[in-house]
Structure 1
Amino acid sequence: MIPVPIVQARARLGEGPVWDPLRQCLFWVDIYNHRVHQLILETGAERWWEVGEVVGSLALVAGERLLLAQRHHLAWLDLLSGAVEPLLELETDRPQNRCNDGKCDPQGRFWFGTMGPEGAGSLYRYDGHLERMETGLTISNGLGWSSDGHTFYLTDSPRQQIYAYDFAAETGSLSHRRVFIDLRGSSFFPDGLTVDAQGYLWVALWDGWAVQRFDPQGIPVEKLELPVQRPTCPTFGGSHLDRLFITTAAVGLSEKEIQEGFHAGDLFAVQTVVRGLPAHRLMNPV
């Protein structure tokens, strides 16, 4: 399996890909270019919305809108008009922080993290009401749920660790945090992740030129090499959820490094022999 570039996005920091099964399209963000991108897979049609400031992640919502996690607030993006309507503010007392990666759980609650100086980041859950679920993080990043829904995964990239928590689906509570994958001492950093239908994790390796697949015990079993230094997040999509889409970044690279990884910032895809898990929509948007 060899990932190939399918959209010449030239994103500074492509992130947060989400497959929308109703529209049969992929949404993703370019954090530092303040854009939300859309790719209609069948036709190859592309579109983007300028959202005015940093956008770390997004969630699918019923109707013609998306929920965005921007620098210090959640906001609605109207897909018809392009208007951005703030919903609520957070961490305005921490100007160095910003919202980062996010995803909806199978029950339709939006989980997203913040990043900042050492230990200043947090993890939040939004289901019509905002609750802080974890503190002491630095870059709250790749998150996901096991295929049986009983385990929640969360990455803290600078610490080069992916944590696992027991997840109570009914209440949306977390407990028993432990280190699930420990990559300390590596020359790369774990970034975004997704989970396939077999319960394996696919993790983007920032500065690692690859996406690594780990088994349900956290053992590396397969690696997808990419021609770019900074893959940021994978997700499954397509009508059968058997295409892996991978966002990438060019931010922070020298001119020489960009020449060596010419497609830095582009969107990649690869056909897989396994299927992913479906993305979920926000169920209580008010």
Structure 2
Amino acid sequence: MNSINESPKNILIARARLGEGPCWHSQKQLLYWVDIYNHRVHEFNPKTGEQKFFDVGEVVGCLAPVGTNRFVLALRHHLAFLDTSNGEVTPIIEVEEEQPSDIRLNDGKCDAVGRFWFGSMSTSGADARLFRYDPDGSLHVVLTGLTVSNGLGWSPDQSTFYLTDSPLKKIYAFDFDLESGNISNQRVFAEINIDGVPDGLTVDRDGCIWSAIWDGWCIVKFDPSGKEMTRIAMPVQRPTCCVFGNQDLATLYVTTASVGLSEEEIQKSFYSGDLFSLSTTTSGMPTYEFAG
């Protein structure tokens, strides 16, 4: 069954180094995403094509909305709030200050009751972790022993939590208790058996997982059992993450990266770092807000 109505469209010539973490702000009908190494939070209006960015001063791994004009950010080693009305960044809490310098915070998003989940990544081994920051200000280490904590999300019925460990080429599933925020029963949901590694993901209303495949030139859609359903070719080598947006949540927005590509690879993947969209035959889950 075909899941898309059209080929991917380049909707913003962004030339990001490492575009990541798109989230759809339903109230404002705007797309927000980060360019990690350029230290930017981007705001994009699909209807008008207008875009602007906020320089947050350091590496920014991910973000989640907090009401109308605020976002919670995972920066290199701490969390902060960004006020998009004036660009002010306010630190919240240190997270990885005692860890080696090769560890930084990475992908994240909020669950349905407004807790902020985010992970770290390590370049030297299984030293990364998954965290949960609750609206009461408490920080919890949820999982250890990861290499690159990435691509996370929840099933529509909130019974399953998904988490990607990119270098292992695996997406894990866990039993999820929405009330307590606890996860259990870790198992492999899907293994990526093609070139490339799984990066960010999103979940649609049917419980299917859409995973961006870094160095794989594609988005892979899995059914709720972990079986591959569709492989959507992308015109760039490094798609990084995706999210459903627009009024009907039926448009898939895809961030991409140019970082680390050789001149030859850039010629083959000329639009790397730009923002893309796809019209789909399904619809996604809303982007949940932080409740703090």
| TM-score bracket relative to the smaller structure | over 0.9
AA at the equivalent of 1:33: N
AA at the equivalent of 2:213: L
Distance 2:203 2:237 in 1: 22
After TM superposition, give the deviation of residue 187 of structure 1 in Å. Answer: 2.0
2:190 paired residue among 166, 172, 181: 181
Q: CA RMSD of the aligned region, Å?
A: 0.8
Distance 1:63 1:249 in 2: 28
Q: Do the aligned partners of residues 159 and 132 (structure 1) sit closer, same or farther apart at CA in structure 2, a change above 3 Å counting?
A: same
Alignment of 1:212-231 (within 5 A): 212-231=220-239
AA at the equivalent of 1:67: V
AA at the equivalent of 1:51: V
Asked if 1:144 corresponds to 2:153, the answer is yes
After TM superposition, give the deviation of residue 62 of structure 1 in Å. Answer: 1.4
TM-score (normalised: structure 1): 0.97
2:113 paired residue among 99, 107, 113: 107
Secondary structure of the residue aligned to 2:37 is coil
TM-score (normalised: structure 2): 0.95
Secondary structure of the residue aligned to 2:38 is coil
Q: Which residue of 2 aligns with 1:22?
A: 27
After TM superposition, give the deviation of residue 63 of structure 1 in Å. Answer: 3.7
After TM superposition, give the deviation of residue 90 of structure 1 in Å. Answer: 1.1
Distance 1:63 1:33 in 2: 24
1:44 paired residue among 49, 70, 74: 49
1:251 paired residue among 237, 243, 259: 259
Secondary structure of the residue aligned to 1:178 is strand
After TM superposition, give the deviation of residue 64 of structure 1 in Å. Answer: 1.7
Q: Which residue of 2 aligns with 1:197?
A: 205
After TM superposition, give the deviation of residue 198 of structure 1 in Å. Answer: 0.5
2:131 paired residue among 124, 128, 135: 124
AA at the equivalent of 1:24: Q
Distance 2:13 2:73 in 1: 23
Asked if 1:273 corresponds to 2:273, the answer is no
After TM superposition, give the deviation of residue 186 of structure 1 in Å. Answer: 3.5
The answer for unaligned runs of 5 or more in structure 2 is 1-5
AA at the equivalent of 1:108: G
Secondary structure of the residue aligned to 2:65 is strand
Distance 1:3 1:230 in 2: 14
AA at the equivalent of 1:75: A
Distance 1:108 1:92 in 2: 25
After TM superposition, give the deviation of residue 225 of structure 1 in Å. Answer: 0.4
Q: Which residue of 2 aligns with 1:171?
A: 180
Q: Which residue of 1 aligns with 2:3?
A: none
AA at the equivalent of 2:39: H
Residue pair 2:27, 2:68 contacting (<8 A) in 1 also: no
Secondary structure of the residue aligned to 2:107 is strand
Distance 1:281 1:101 in 2: 15
After TM superposition, give the deviation of residue 42 of structure 1 in Å. Answer: 1.8
Alignment of 1:59-78 (within 5 A): 59-78=64-83
Residue pair 2:28, 2:68 contacting (<8 A) in 1 also: no
Secondary structure of the residue aligned to 2:219 is strand
Residue pair 2:258, 2:273 contacting (<8 A) in 1 also: yes
AA at the equivalent of 2:237: Q
Distance 2:247 2:194 in 1: 36
Secondary structure of the residue aligned to 2:273 is coil
Distance 2:194 2:203 in 1: 22
Asked if 1:154 corresponds to 2:159, the answer is no
Residue pair 2:194, 2:216 contacting (<8 A) in 1 also: no
List 4+ stretches of structure 1 deviating above 2 A: none
Write out per-residue CA displacement over residues 27-52 of structure 1, whole angstroms, 9 at most, x where no aligned residue: 00000000000111221110100110
More moved, 56-65 vs 151-160? 56-65
AA at the equivalent of 2:240: T
Q: Which residue of 2 aligns with 1:208?
A: 216
After TM superposition, give the deviation of residue 226 of structure 1 in Å. Answer: 0.6
Q: Which residue of 1 aligns with 2:62?
A: 57
